[in-house]
Structure formats: C-alpha cells, structure tokens
Amino acid sequence: MADGGDAAPALLELAGVSRRFGGLLAVDSVALQVMQGGIVALVGPNGAGKTTLFALIAGFLKPDRGRIRFAGRDIAGLAPHLICRRGLARTFQIVQPFGALSVRENIAVGAHLRHAGRRAALAHATAMAERVGMAGMLDQPAAELTIAGRKRLELARVLATGPRLLLLDEVMAGLTPPEIAAIVPVIRGLADDGLTIVMIEHVMQAVASLADEVHVLNQGRLIARGSLAEIAADPVVVEAYLGHGAAAKLGGGTAGVGGG
C-alpha cells in the first residue's frame, strides 16, 4: 500500500511512537502510515511489541512519546471507548465472550455503541453475525462455541461498533488449516466492502493471501516494510523472523492458506 504522496492523507498515522515498561523499551520510535482501504499486516517474532503497539493505537495504553492520528485527529491518550466511537476498533488475542449470553446478545454489546435501543442493537447484531458466517448460531450460548466460533464472534462484536479501521490481533491463532481457509474470505470480504484492516498475524500463508503491504516489527522497532515478496527477500527480516525456509517458500509465491 502506497504512502499516499499527493493523494488522500493517511487514515492512521503514527510518528515517533514509543512506550517503555521499566527497563524494557517495548515500542521504539515507530512511524507508520495506513491508507484508507485494503489490508496491512504487522508481523514479527513473539515479544516484538506488536500487541503493545495495538494497545497504544486503540487507547488501552498511553505512549510515552510520539503522535497517533486517526482520520486527521490526534487520538493518543484518549480512552478506548472514545477512540472506538471515532471508528477505530480492535480484537484481542484471547477471546473472552460473555459465556452466559447468546451469540446474538454478545454481538449486541458492541452494537449498543451506536444503537441505544435493545431491539435495534439486536437487529444489527443479527446482520453482523450474517456478515461473519454465524447466522445459524445466533441463539447458541457463547460458552458452547469452538475456538473458531469464538474468533468469529469477537470479529462480529467489533464490527457491530461500526469501525472504519479494524485492528485484528491474531484472529487466526489456534485455528486449524481448514478453519483458517474458511475465515480468510470473510476478512477479504470486509476489506472489499471498504473497511481498512491492520492485522497482527503469524500464519504467513494467510498474510500472503490477504495483505497488500507488510510491516515487520522486531524488538520494538519497524525494521522493514513492503510487499510480502520484498519482505521475504530482506536478509534482515529473514534473520530476525522468517528463517530461510519460510522466506524461500514465501518468496517463491506460495500463498495457499494452511500450507506447511
């Protein structure tokens, strides 16, 4: 995805964003632009700072320094619900639905951000369930869902808030290859409908199938950016994250989801 040049400004822009936890510099002077539309992947080894960066963007943490702008407005330090109301929402690695509530009621929790009435929120929840392939599970208790079902529920609940930009934090973690193959077109469909997506993901075949642009984070710093083929050919990325075997496979154009 291009920087934008003289075109429209970035939907999301980070400049010099840093966050320290005691002696650990978890996010180090990150600069990032995400343009409207499409899918951007954020990859890197465990502990690289990816989820911390998402938490900073979505308001769950405050940066020690740097600027975060969404849709042309500063959002650094705003509360998460205010950022969500502006149209930027995130999912979480560990999905924790309200187990005693139905799928429909869980999604309605997100819908209440923009639909005050119960009937309107439940109707919107039904539409969001259909969008992620859960129409047949609306009355099922959330506690009975599989991991794949919980991942879809999390996605539907966040979609119900009406985001313009969606941060997906390892939405495919813990899924089997067939489950990954089933959710990839759901995510692609959201982007095709105009939603901008930034995704943290370790399933590189899914990244190959979905991402227009890839950013690589290592030890809190962005070390590379480009297409997946460009990333796979970067020796710094190969050394820090991919390894030579995965880099060769990705560089050769292997994009089948769920491949070894």
pLDDT, residue 258, reads 37
Of the candidates 220, 216, 222, 240, the residue with the CA atom closest to the CA atom of residue 20: 220
Q: What is the DSSP letter of 10?
A: P
Residue 6, pLDDT > 90, answer no
Query: Strand order in 196-200's β-sheet?
Result: 88-90, 165-169, 196-200, 39-43, 213-218, 221-226
Average per-residue pLDDT in the chain? 90
Structure tokens at 98: 């309200």
Q: What is the DSSP letter of 149?
A: H
pLDDT, tens digit, for every residue of 80-112? 999 999 999 999 988 999 999 999 999 999 999
Residue 259, pLDDT > 70, answer no
The residues, any chain, with a CB within 8 Å of residue 150's CB and separated by 6 or more, are 95, 97, 142
Residue 211, pLDDT > 80, answer yes
Report yes or no: 234 and 224 within 8 Å, Cβ to Cβ: yes
